Amino acid sequence: MFEIGVVLYRQRDRGKRYGREAVELLTTWLFAAGGADRVQATTEAANTPMRILLEQLGFRLEGILRAFGTLSDGTRPDGALYAVVKPDWVDRPGVPTSS
């Protein structure tokens, strides 16, 4: 089982789909060469860009993890657990078939 995450450190790099490209490339590699059958990603439930990105790529929401995170101010936000399995990734829309 593999858990992935991504951070674009510079604000100016965000919103240009670089994050989506990075997650797509890494997930493709994990299934094709890394031996993965399942790839999961957990993000803050309030992280709209990350959740949209994952859903656009075909990751499915598997649950809300209550009080999952720990922030420096002491608050504990909920998390959202997403995952995709190999057959769904290989057959996702927009991927050319190899034949």
Ligand X SMILES: CC(C)(COP(=O)(O)OP(=O)(O)OC[C@H]1O[C@@H](n2cnc3c(N)ncnc32)[C@H](O)[C@@H]1OP(=O)(O)O)[C@@H](O)C(=O)NCCC(=O)NCCS
DSSP 54: H
Minimum CB distance to ligand X smaller for 14 or for 76: 14
Does the footprint of ligand X cover residue 16 (CB under 6 A)? Answer: yes
Q: Which of 25, 37, 49, 95 binds ligand X (CB under 6 A)?
A: 49
At 71, give phi and psi (nearest 5°).
-100, 160
**Could you say which of 39, 43, 57, 81 contacts ligand X (CB under 6 A)?**
43
Q: Say how far apart CA 27 and CA 19 lie, in whole Å.
A: 12
- The nearer residue to ligand X, 10 or 99, going by C-beta atoms, is 10
Which of 30, 50, 81, 83 is the binder for ligand X (CB under 6 A)?
50
Q: How far apart are CA 30 and CA 25, in angstroms?
A: 9
Q: 32 near 77, Cβ under 8 Å?
A: no
Query: With binding defined as CB under 6 A, does residue 70 bind ligand X?
Result: no
**Nearest CA-CA partner of 46 in 29, 19, 68:** 68
Interacting residues with ligand X (CB under 6 A): 5-8, 14-20, 43, 47-50, 52-53
